Amino acid sequence: MRLQNIREAIDCIEHDIFLHSLFPKEPNVLFDLLQQISNLKEDFIRCRFIGEDVELLEDTRFRLLELGLNTEILLSELAGHKTREQVRQLEELYLTTI
């Protein structure tokens, strides 16, 4: 999968997560999104980086990690579990961008 395709898929999943905040979905839909994110991470690792802009690659990596953590937080909240660890990981991710 090309980097542009990965970025477009990220945009779609981000939109789905936004819609979930307005109209909550069933947990199985969020599990499917989490699986799609995992697949995109694998595709990103296999992607050819030669000739790609470093900032674009870093932005894509950041968005994949952020999206995965946010989805895990949503699933944990739906299940009534603590989200402390995912929130800590998200904070660390945000600190890496400073």
Task: Indicate the SS3 state at residue 29.
Answer: helix
When pLDDT is cut at 50, 70 and 90, the band that residue 1 belongs to is: confident
Report the alpha-carbon distance of residue 2 to residue 7 in Å, rounded. 9
Q: 41 and 64 in contact (C-beta within 8 Å)?
A: yes
Where are the domains positioned within the chain?
Answer: 3-95
Burial, 10: exposed, middle or buried (Cβ in 10 Å; 0-12, 13-18, 19+)?
A: buried
Which tens digits make up the pLDDT trace of 32-87?
A: 999 999 999 999 999 988 889 999 999 999 999 999 999 999 999 999 999 999 99
Report the alpha-carbon distance of residue 64 to residue 79 in Å, rounded. 23
pTM recorded for the entire structure: 0.89
Mean pLDDT of 6-14: 97
Mean pLDDT of 22-31: 92
